[in-house]
Amino acid sequence: MEHFSKHFLSLLPGRKSPGLLGGTSLAVLALYALKKASDAFSQAKLNNYTSDAYDWPNEVVVVTGGSGGIGDLLVRKFAGLGATVLSLDIAPPKEPLPPNAHFHQVDLSDPETTNAVALQLRHLHGDHTILILNAGVSNARCLLETPDSDIARTFQINAITPFLLLKQFLPSMVARNHGHVVTVGSMKGLVVGQVGMDYAASKAAALALHEAVGQECRHQYGAPKIRTTLVLPAFVRTPIIAGTLPHIQARGYTVLEPEEVADAIFRHILTGNSGRLFFPGYMSVMAGLRGWPAWLQEKVRDSVVSGGGGLPYHLRSKQ
């Protein structure tokens, strides 16, 4: 977008462009105006042509995976607004939380425990208005070397637990026609790589969950003011990619810091809008990958970083 903006400015009168705007300049202006109009219409549609606002001292924010990385940063940012913030994680926070932020220990891979804790939170804190589904686990291994228990755990935390938490917290949002569901997915849910099949499939499920929640709130529950946001990061410096980080960097991929992703999510929620956030932003072109020619789709998938950069499975298995 930055390159487009510079090119656009160079075509305006007074920017060393002789005479009136030529055909190319008019075409660029028309495309720019069309994009702006399309963006505005998209935002209005995502918001169901309604507006809403937050009253932060009366909002209750739930963050899964709230003890580390992006989750911990979001917990503290929303606490700074005066909201009641509930952090759900199996590990306690590394630093003490503000007085209006509360840590609740829960194993999100255990559905019975998850439901019990969610029910307890409803009794303790009342209506929950913002649910940030941030928790996630990953296995950077091929299917044939991944234990069944790891596959089940990945799907439970990344895909099934969000369903359980939505069933607990969505009814109060629907009753008030007010709330926000934020799903932290992954670009691997759109672009499958050479390893981590279970992770990619679980994040594809999370993507479908995000879209379905928006549809149900709009058409089934009569709650058009409930916002839904999908976050699709590529590589963020978190424990999920710790084992593959050297290989990722060696391949020249952009590795984002948790602070910049958390800040962007935070600022987006403050707008009161639904949306889709890609990190880095240029990765949005991958949203239409499945409509590309097959040869180009496979070239993109072939290029996705593979595991720790070691030997492929068929050679490792012979050692």
Report phi then psi at 231, rounded to 5. -110, 125
DSSP assigned state of 98: P
Give the Cα-Cα-Cα angle 48, 128, 203 (nearest 5 degrees). Answer: 70
Report the Cα 284 to chain-centroid distance in Å. Answer: 13
Say which residue the tokens 């299917």 belong to.
143
Instruction: List Cα–Cα distances, 65 to 32, 42, 281, in angstroms.
Output: 39, 30, 24
Say if residues 138 and 154 touch (Cβ distance below 8 Å): yes
Euclidean distance between CA atoms 75 and 204, whole angstroms? 25
Euclidean distance between CA atoms 158 and 207, whole angstroms? 11
Give the Cα-Cα-Cα angle 54, 55, 58 (nearest 5 degrees). Answer: 120
Say if residues 132 and 206 touch (Cβ distance below 8 Å): no
Q: What is the largest CA-CA distance in the chain?
A: 72
Q: What is the SS3 assignment for 186?
A: coil
Nearest to 218 by CA among 181, 266, 184, 164: 181
Structure tokens at 209: 């969950």
**b/e per residue 177-212 (b: at least 16 CB within 10 A):** ebbbbbbbbbbbbbbbbebbbbbbbbbbbbbebbee
- Is 199 catalytic? The answer is yes
Euclidean distance between CA atoms 119 and 121, whole angstroms? 5
Active-site choice (32, 54, 199, 253)? 199
Q: Which residues are catalytic?
A: 199
